[in-house]
Amino acid sequence: MSPGVTHDMSVLGLITGASVLVQLVMAGLLLASLLSWYYIFLKTFTFKRATRLADEFEKDFWSGGDLNELYQRAAGSRGAGTLERVFEAGFREFAKLRKQPGMDVAVVMDGTRRAMRATYQREMERLESHLSFLASVGSVSPYVGLFGTVWGIMNSFRGLANVAQATLGHVAPGIAEALIATAMGLFAAIPAVIAYNRFAGDVNRLATRFDSFMEEFSNILQRQTH
């Protein structure tokens, strides 16, 4: 490299000047980061809505109103929350089994709990959707960025084979280009890890809340069988 040659050391210049493989790594990390932010905003609204609907339904449920009326309202609701769907599934199964003559109380309650548990599992799967993607981005992105950095540094040092006298000016641009891949890997990973940990906590809190409701609702229905 002649003394008169200069490198564009801006971030954009370093990205465009990187090797094709490093650019592909950066593009993949950028795509992963954009998808992560999309799912972060999506899940933020999902959990806020789930909590709000659970609050509203529990308020109606514990207000002492008629369960049949609450069931009719839940069955006709298109935007029902998780607790409402669990309640609807449990009450529908309970009412169906009670109509069958000679049905034992234990069988009725077992069927009711299984119906609620099946709905609960489907709802939890919906709430947990895309969290595995955030976990994967958070764990894999730093290593993908490191791979791009190692490859870029290796190419930078290989270029010194054709230079009679190596100086920092020869290797600095190549190393700077490579280190951007690591920075992009961390940029993709850090928000994904933070969001995953937060959403996992939200899932656990909601799961505990839904479990408690199913137990309390089961006790209420069991008392009605006597």
pLDDT in tens, 128-182: 999 999 999 999 999 998 888 888 777 777 766 666 565 555 566 667 777 888 8
Residue 7 pLDDT > 70: no
- Name the 3-class secondary structure at 205: helix
Residue 114 pLDDT > 90: yes
Whether 65 is in a domain gets the answer yes
Angle at 31 between CA 29 and CA 35, to 5 degrees: 115
| pLDDT of amino acid 168 | 56
Whether 17 is in a domain gets the answer no
Q: Determine the Cα–Cα distance for residues 44 and 199; give it in Å rounded to an integer.
A: 8
Whether 220 is in a domain gets the answer yes
> How does residue 22 score in pLDDT terms, banded at 50, 70 and 90?
confident
Q: How far is CA 6 from CA 19, 41, 169, 174, 181, in A?
A: 18, 42, 9, 13, 22
Enclosing domain of residue 36: 25-224
The predicted model gives 118-137 an average pLDDT of: 93
Whether 138 is in a domain gets the answer yes
Residue 142 near residue 189 (C-beta atoms within 8 A): yes
Whether 6 is in a domain gets the answer no
**What percent of the chain has pLDDT above 70?**
84
Whether 12 is in a domain gets the answer no
Round the average pLDDT of the chain to a whole number and report it: 84
Which residue, 2, 3, 4, 15, is CA-closest to 173?
Answer: 15
- In Å, the largest CA–CA distance within the chain is 97
What is the total count of domains within the chain? 1
Q: Where is pLDDT greater, at 10 or 78?
A: 78
Rg, Å, the chain Cα set: 29
Whether 120 is in a domain gets the answer yes
DSSP sequence for 90-138 = HHHHHHHHHTSTT--HHHHHHHHHHHHHHHHHHHHHHHHTTHHHHHHHH
Whether 2 is in a domain gets the answer no
| pLDDT of amino acid 1 | 43
